């Protein structure tokens, strides 16, 4: 949510930003907010005048009662009652307008960075740097489910029977590899100075509305029937929500946290072959990183965070590249975003495995996250980034470490987490 003062002082800038995001259907919201905001100001002024008049009339009543002018006092009392009734009406009208303004403001996208590429959708995302040389072996690489099943590590058929489409069982060495990657990612971030956290896996609706746009909420979140609780789609939701309506001492910033959680997503819509298997699923586990910092520090942290993801993947000998997200591919709360994509030697192309975002103060305004300075309280900046999400990581991992005989090699950084196992071999 942007600052309403920006709409008051520079509505054209806000409208231009909406156009850059190809959301022209939201342009009217700027004018709606300006109109309602003007009405609120008029009403509040009238209310203030009526309260001031009420104070004067109350003093007059006291004086008249003292001098036994009962009839005159009663006439003024009637005026006070009339004023109070009007004040009640004004307060209700102001509350109603404030609610409508907030609803509209929640739908107006955050101002994007000046250097964000302009484009309607992900076709216009811009490739950045590449890390490690992508390679294609001289043998055919099977689809990832075939690789994992050949290693006795995946059972999708049973999961369909127990849970339906979009679920899976991991077993044996592959299940251990999954846990090993998460443990390594956890320790990797702790060594970067981040504090490890295991958050709640369910959050209330006021947190959901604070951390994401309405469109994202509808497409992602599972609601718990009969309760004001939602399953998290990523631990960022409950991690940022932890600081809702708090004022953080300035000296405590930046807050740097890394969290583990299962994640639950609807994943609406039909998806192609490459997004089947365990690529796009309803349940997975993830290591996340979030930062809460002062505004002047957020761009520096943004660059640090995506670089951490790159460093993690490179340490596991997986080639990656960065992809700068264009305006139309940014969620409404994002100031800028960058994807880290891993190389798929089977597809001979890259696919997304991490997403790093700077939300400036948009999320903090929704949730009331501020920090205390000697000049008053200010809204903090919030950032988030995937450290690793093993389902997609597993695809990149097994494809890049697959050997001709169907075995998968384990890079040195994971040996200790795999109990010394250096190769996962097919089970016959």
- 248 occurs within a structural domain: yes
Is 355 domain-assigned? yes
Query: What's the whole-number average pLDDT of the chain?
Result: 93
Instruction: Say how many domains are in the chain.
Output: 2
CATH number for the domain harbouring residue 139:
3.30.930.10
pLDDT above 80 (res 216): no
Examine the pLDDT at 360 and tell me if it is beyond 50: yes
Residue 370 located in a structural domain: yes
- Of 107, 140, 160, at which residue does a domain stop? 107
Residue 254 and residue 169 share a domain: yes
Per cent of the chain over pLDDT 70 is 97
The three-state (H, E, C) secondary structure of 157-193, written as one string: HHHHHHCCCCCCEECHHHHHHHHHHHHHHHHHHHCCC
Q: pLDDT grade, residue 232 (50/70/90)?
A: very high
Letter string b/e over residues 146-181, b meaning 16 or more CB atoms within 10 A of that residue's CB:
ebbbbbbbbebeebeeeeeebbbebeebbebbbebb
Are residue 295 and residue 403 in the same domain, yes or no? yes
Residues 155 and 96 in one domain: no
Instruction: Examine the domain organization and report whether 222 and 87 are in the same domain.
Output: no
Q: Which helix (H) or strand (E) holds 62?
A: helix 27-66
Give domain status of residue 113, yes or no.
no
In a domain, 117, yes or no: no
81 with 135, same domain: the answer is: no
Cis-peptide into 300, omega within 30 deg: no
| Residue 114 covered by a domain | no
Domain check: are 203 and 258 in the same one? yes
Q: Distance of alpha carbon 164 from its chain centroid, rounded?
A: 27
Q: Summarize pLDDT for 70-99 with one digit per residue, the tens.
A: 888 888 888 888 889 999 999 999 999 999
Pick from 72, 107, 142: which residue ends a domain? 107
**C-alpha–C-alpha distance, residues 92 and 122, integer Å:** 44
Same domain for 194 and 261? yes
- Indicate the pLDDT class of residue 270, thresholds 50, 70 and 90: very low
Average pLDDT over residues 317-329: 97
Range from 141-145, 218-222, 382-386 carrying the lowest mean pLDDT: 218-222
* Boundaries of domain holding 304: 122-424
On the question of pLDDT at 267 being above 80, the answer is no
**Lowest-confidence range among 55-64, 120-129, 151-160, 186-195?**
55-64
Number of helices (H) and strands (E) in the chain: give both, helices first: 13, 18
pLDDT tens for 300-310 read 999 999 999 99
- Identify the pLDDT of residue 76: 82
pTM, full prediction: 0.89
Is the same domain home to 83 and 132?
A: no
* Percent over 90 (pLDDT), the chain: 82
Mean pLDDT of 98-105: 94
Please indicate, yes or no, whether residues 12 and 102 belong to a single structural domain of this protein.
yes
* Mean pLDDT for the stretch of residues 249-259: 97
pLDDT band with cut points at 50, 70 and 90 for residue 268: low
Mean pLDDT of all residues in 19-34: 97
Write the DSSP symbol of residue 122: G
Q: Is residue 116 part of a domain?
A: no
| Same domain assignment for residues 228 and 294 | yes
pLDDT, tens only, 131-150: 999 999 999 999 999 999 99
What tokens does 52 get? 């001031």
**Does position 36 have pLDDT exceeding 80, yes or no?**
yes
Verify that 360 and 229 share a domain, yes or no: yes
pLDDT tier for residue 213 given thresholds of 50, 70 and 90: confident
Q: What is the CATH number of the domain that holds 27?
A: 1.10.287.40
Q: What is the mean pLDDT of residues 225-243?
A: 94
115 inside domain: no
Identify the domain boundary among 43, 76, 107.
107
Query: Mind listing the pLDDT tens digit for each residue in 361-374?
Result: 999 999 999 999 99
pLDDT of residue 43: 96
pLDDT of 276: 66
Q: Are residues 138 and 103 in the same domain?
A: no
């Amino acid at each position: 949510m942007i600052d309403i003062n920006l709409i008051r002082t520079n509505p054209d800038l806000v409208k231009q930003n909406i156009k850059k995001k190809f959301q022209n259907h939201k342009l009217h919201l700027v004018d709606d907010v300006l109109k309602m905001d003007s009405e609120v100001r008029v009403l509040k002024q009238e209310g203030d005048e009526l309260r001031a008049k009420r104070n004067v009339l109350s003093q007059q009543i006291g004086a008249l009662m003292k001098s036994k002018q009962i009839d005159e006092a009663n006439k003024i009392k009637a005026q006070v009652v009339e004023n109070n009734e009007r004040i009640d009406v004004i307060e209700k009208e102001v509350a109603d307008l404030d609610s409508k303004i907030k609803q509209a403001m929640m739908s107006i996208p955050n101002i994007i960075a000046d250097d964000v590429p302009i484009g309607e959708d992900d076709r216009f995302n811009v490739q950045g740097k590449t890390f490690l040389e992508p390679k294609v072996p001289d043998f055919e690489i099977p689809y990832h489910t075939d690789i994992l099943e050949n290693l006795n590590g995946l059972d999708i058929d049973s999961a369909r029977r127990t849970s339906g489409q979009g679920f899976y069982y991991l077993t044996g060495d592959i299940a251990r590899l999954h846990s090993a990657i998460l443990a390594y990612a956890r320790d990797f971030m702790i060594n970067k100075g981040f504090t490890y956290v295991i958050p709640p896996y369910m959050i209330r609706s006021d947190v959901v509305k604070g951390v994401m746009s309405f469109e994202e909420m509808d497409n992602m979140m599972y609601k718990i029937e009969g309760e004001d609780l939602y399953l998290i789609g990523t631990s960022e939701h409950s991690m940022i929500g932890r600081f809702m309506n708090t004022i953080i001492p300035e000296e405590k910033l930046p807050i740097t946290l890394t969290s583990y959680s299962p994640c639950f997503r609807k994943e609406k819509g039909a998806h192609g072959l490459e997004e089947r298997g365990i690529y796009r699923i309803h349940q997975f586990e993830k290591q996340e990183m979030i930062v809460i910092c002062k505004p002047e520090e957020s761009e520096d942290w943004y660059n640090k965070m995506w670089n951490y993801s790159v460093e993690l993947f490179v340490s596991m000998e997986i080639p990656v590249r960065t992809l700068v997200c264009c305006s139309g591919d940014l969620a409404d709360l994002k100031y800028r975003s960058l994807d880290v994509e891993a190389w798929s030697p089977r597809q001979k192309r890259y696919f997304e495995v991490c997403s790093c975002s700077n939300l400036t103060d948009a999320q903090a305004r929704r949730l009331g996250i501020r920090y205390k300075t000697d000049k008053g309280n200010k809204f903090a900046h919030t950032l988030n980034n995937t450290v690793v999400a093993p389902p997609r990581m597993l695809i990149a991992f097994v494809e890049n470490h697959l050997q001709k005989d169907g075995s998968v090699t384990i890079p040195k950084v994971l040996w200790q987490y795999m109990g010394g196992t250096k190769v996962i071999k097919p089970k016959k």
